Amino acid sequence: MASTPSGRPATARDRDHEGRARNARPRDGLGRPMPYGADGVERQPEGVVRTPEQSVAEAQELLDEGKPFHAHEVFEDAWKSGPEEERALWRGLAQLAVGLTHSARGNVMGGARLLRRGAGAVEEWAAGGGGRQPYGMDLMGLVAWARELADVVEAGGGAAVDARERAPRLRGRA
């Protein structure tokens, strides 16, 4: 059997149905790998083409469940499969979800940085779109939410935030 540079025995890599390397370890609600055999959270399927309305609704459900990592996967699918003129918006939304993920993991620097980067991308897209609210989303409300949360994360001294409690409302407050 071959070995790794560290001298440990090499093992076969986990692969998806198309043969691409994929880590099959279970994941928790924040996307962190867990030991093989642990009870993890069902993974979000990748490469799903949804309507924008479906993307917003599914991402909101995941955010409400405290699963921003999984919401990021939904936004990433929209970013990769959507029209070119909307890709920056969906990428910015994915960054917001990853920023919340890192903040919930207690990663102050990464969380705050991604929240601010995503807020800037969403704000820039909204400015270029004439201030419209695509698919009923409150873009400026999301920008304000992200910047406020970034401040809270930095002031918290490394304390993790509750992803469910801090989840944004994509379509504003109901």
Q: How far apart are the first and last CA of the chain?
A: 59
Which domains occur in the chain, in start order? 52-155 (1.10.3450.10)
Taking the whole predicted model, whether its pTM rises above 0.85 is answered as no
pLDDT digits (tens, 9 = 90+) for 83-111: 999 999 999 999 999 999 999 999 999 99
- Measured in whole angstroms, the distance separating CA 138 from the mean position of its chain's CA atoms is 18
Q: What's the pLDDT tens digit per position in 106-162?
A: 999 999 999 999 999 999 999 987 667 899 999 999 999 999 999 999 998 889 999
